[in-house]
Structure 1
């Protein structure tokens, strides 16, 4: 039943993408996390850290309990009712079509000029895009595709395969909390727990994503991939981004922070199309693997 719900949710994502924010549970979650975080960040370091940790644990606990109860209750219904409802509950936990469409839109905007590309890119990244040239815009778009393939698809499906609906919901909560609270500066202490929790929950999925993007067939490939993963401040982001850089044979980086596959050439328009194809194959593989794992658990 869970495998069938996953496949139906994947079909819905492919056909319809994301609902409007007014109807999206992740947007509702953001409306709760935003005010809570703004209160917490005003505190001194220790109270802010404790408050952030408690808020995260309470939120994760409530969501896990709700997911467990919903899955248990819905599972008792006839399959023709339970599968669509479970799919409806699972769908907001991942977003492959939106990620793909945003990267396509960035490349299309570059056809209208660098300024249009910068504007489109600024919709999906938090970094300053005002000084990026055409090559840097493509680098950032490919990085976003690779890293968010994990955050937006592989990781939630991994936790769905491991722990069912509660696992997927808790991961989406953790990733959203990290996206809203997990910054340095004034968020340093209030968001520290959220950032570390997301690192822990994304640790194994990020490495799975890297293997799906660039299957290392030889020991030297593993060493190269591992070496690239150490170049980013994030303990997880370097894995899928490094895998994509090596697979494409291009340089990716964030100015003043890191450079991946530094001796390679800058990406061109054709590389974005190839990156989308590799990511699409990895996305399908992750769905198939999760479905098979769920079927195996039910036997």
Structure 2
């Protein structure tokens, strides 16, 4: 009878996911915030309108962060499980994302448009100063949809693939993209590597999120999800957010996308889905869908890791 060994990464992914679901992000001393401060200091010294400079900065920060994750490898199994739990909790953002949706729903329900416009800044980069209640709701649902991949599916994927180094390395990539991956004068060249590396790191997780949405849609509507993604995703400027948001639009039966206002310029993101435009009532539906999608992602990725690791190696 073959001995079954504890997989500390699988245990850590499950326990860290549960911690995120119960607690959300740490309120103080968040390691991602500390990483962001380090990135700011490095940018201050290293910034130039040069792709090579930006690439070196990104490479140094990501390699160092992933390397820190390797320090848990020599530890005993139970200590490695604790490290994986803490790392998973630190990099996941599903609960905090859901809380933002709940807070915006409450503000809009109370008629506090000004408060909702201020709160939506936590989720989106578009100018919210002239957004109506339904436009704020669209921005919220689109952010929940896009970040379901960035803040949940992708960290779990890289954790399942590469353990703690994968968890920390992915979060470093995604954080640098959020900080430097902008198409403005300061970051167009310096942030190019951060944006491209984030596209690569999220390519598979984004398609996995689409697949999970087809499962959640059920046999009757799964083809509609795939059809919507194939038809509408190319209109979106992001190669990863486009498929994810299109799959969410079909799964929720709403229409996402349209024209957004960023830094004094309008950006047309196409229309995603055939349903009616998003309203305030769709935000709670989106947060519930996020919980289902997150749970299915965890079960799928942990199960795949365990199955692949337990397959007997062929002898030569």
TM over 0.5: yes
By how many angstroms is 1:221 displaced? 4.4
Find 1:96's aligned residue among 94, 98, 111: 94
**Residues 149-168 of structure 1, C-alpha deviation per residue, up to 9 Å, x if partnerless?**
11001001101111111111
Find 2:249's aligned residue among 245, 249, 261: 245
By how many angstroms is 1:86 displaced? 2.5
- 1:29 maps to 35
- 1:17 maps to 24
**Residues 113-150 of structure 1, C-alpha deviation per residue, up to 9 Å, x if partnerless?**
22222121122222110011111111110001010011
Gapped regions of structure 2 (runs ≥ 5): 1-7, 260-266, 311-316
Gapped regions of structure 1 (runs ≥ 5): none
Q: How does 1:161-200 map to 2 (within 5 A)?
A: 161-185=160-184, 186-200=186-200
In structure 1, what is the Cα distance between the partners aligned to 2:160 and 2:238? 25
In structure 1, what is the Cα distance between the partners aligned to 2:122 and 2:63? 31
- 2:151 maps to 152
2:110 is paired with a residue whose SS is coil
What number of residue pairs does the alignment pair up?
290
1:187 is paired with a residue whose SS is coil
1:154 is paired with a residue whose SS is helix
CA contact (8 A) 1:214 1:244 kept: no
Q: How does 1:274-293 map to 2 (within 5 A)?
A: 274-293=285-304
In structure 2, what is the Cα distance between the partners aligned to 1:170 and 1:54? 15
CA contact (8 A) 2:255 2:275 kept: yes
Q: Structure 1's 214 and 40: CA in aligned 2 closer, same or farther, altered over 3 A?
A: farther
- 1:264 maps to 275
Superposed CA RMSD in Å reads 1.9
By how many angstroms is 1:264 displaced? 3.3
In structure 2, what is the Cα distance between the partners aligned to 1:27 and 1:220? 39
1:131 is paired with a residue whose SS is coil
| TM-score normalised by structure 2 residue count | 0.86
By how many angstroms is 1:188 displaced? 0.3
**Residues 223-256 of structure 1, C-alpha deviation per residue, up to 9 Å, x if partnerless?**
3212221111111001111111112222212424
| TM-score normalised by structure 1 residue count | 0.91
2:257 is paired with a residue whose SS is strand
Structure that is richer in helix per residue? 1
CA contact (8 A) 2:228 2:273 kept: no
In structure 2, what is the Cα distance between the partners aligned to 1:211 and 1:260? 20
By how many angstroms is 1:12 displaced? 1.1
Query: Which range moves more in the overlay, 205-214 or 156-165?
Result: 205-214
CA contact (8 A) 1:155 1:205 kept: yes
- 1:49 maps to 51
By how many angstroms is 1:260 displaced? 2.4
In structure 2, what is the Cα distance between the partners aligned to 1:219 and 1:109? 36
**Residues 190-214 of structure 1, C-alpha deviation per residue, up to 9 Å, x if partnerless?**
0000000000000110111122224
1:37 is paired with a residue whose SS is helix
Q: Structure 1's 151 and 262: CA in aligned 2 closer, same or farther, altered over 3 A?
A: closer
